[in-house]
Amino acid sequence: MTTEKNNKIVKPFLRWAGGKTWFTKHIENYIPKDFNDYYEPFVGGGSVFFYLKSKGFIKNKAYLSDSNSDLINTYKILKNYSNDLFEILKTHIDSEDEYYRMRSTGFTDKIEKAAKFIYLNKTSFNGIYRVNRNGEYNVPYGRRNLNILYDFEHLKDISIALKNTYLSTLDLIL
């Protein structure tokens, strides 16, 4: 979050095909100088939201939605249960065997589901989110050989940015 102390822009924590990080360099030319509520119906990786939130453009509530329920669950868990999520994420390792084990595991706990979503996004091929006809995630392992799997300070900044944010898989226009 932007503060008088550090002017830090919070970047997305997910790799997302079709992400709009490139657009954040230009967005200030196309928006009002300030506005109250913010609505984003296809949040994806959230690059526009995190940029605007960091720069202080969003004064009140933000309404973020997406049809991907696993994505929205992950945002909700980061917002409300980040410490519990971090404890699970600390147990992850970047390996092909672990990737396929995680990919095939069907978690029922929402925090474990969010941890799985972040893990698969971080270690999959190109951060692609793709499911088959049965709704099963089927992206191959990315072979990225990551030295650091998660930046917990960054994830904490994400959690803070999500405060005062409404998250939904439903249409926001009634």
Which range of 51-60, 71-80, 120-129 scores highest in mean pLDDT? It is 71-80
Band of pLDDT at residue 3, cut at 50, 70 and 90: very low
At 6 the pLDDT is 54
Return the residue matching tokens 């972040």: 118
CA atoms within 13 A on the CB side of 129: 19
Question: Given pLDDT bands bounded at 50, 70 and 90, which one contains residue 50?
Answer: very high
Q: Among candidates 172, 160, 169, 150, which has minimal Cα distance to 93?
A: 150
Q: Whole-angstrom Cα distance, residue 98 to residue 119?
A: 10
Please report, as a single letter, which amino acid is at residue 49.
F
Residue 11 DSSP class = P
Domain ranges of the chain: 21-168
* pLDDT at residue 2 is higher than 60: no
137: β partners: 131
Residue 49 · residue 62 · CB < 8 Å: yes
Phi/psi at 130 (5° precision): -145, 135
Per-residue pLDDT, averaged over 79-100, amounts to 97
* pLDDT over 70 percentage in the chain: 94
Residue 174 has pLDDT above 60, yes or no: no
What's the rounded Cα separation, in Å, for the pair 35 and 155?
Answer: 26
Q: Between 4 and 14, whose confidence is greater?
A: 14
CATH topology of domain 21-168: Adenine-specific Methyltransferase; domain 2 (1.10.1020)
- Report residue 4's pLDDT band, with 50, 70 and 90 as the boundaries: very low
Confidence at 172, pLDDT banded by 50, 70, 90 = low
The more confident residue out of 75 and 28 is 75
Residue 89 has pLDDT above 80, yes or no: yes
pLDDT of amino acid 171: 61
- Compute the distance between CA of residue 145 and CA of residue 75 in angstroms, rounded to an integer: 25
Give the predicted TM-score (pTM) of the model. Answer: 0.90
* Tokens read off for 10: 């919070």
Total residues found in the chain within this entry = 174
One-letter amino acid for residue 56 of the chain: G
Q: Each residue of 134-162: pLDDT tens digit?
A: 989 999 999 887 889 999 999 999 999 99
Backbone CA torsion sign across 153, 156, 13, 150: positive
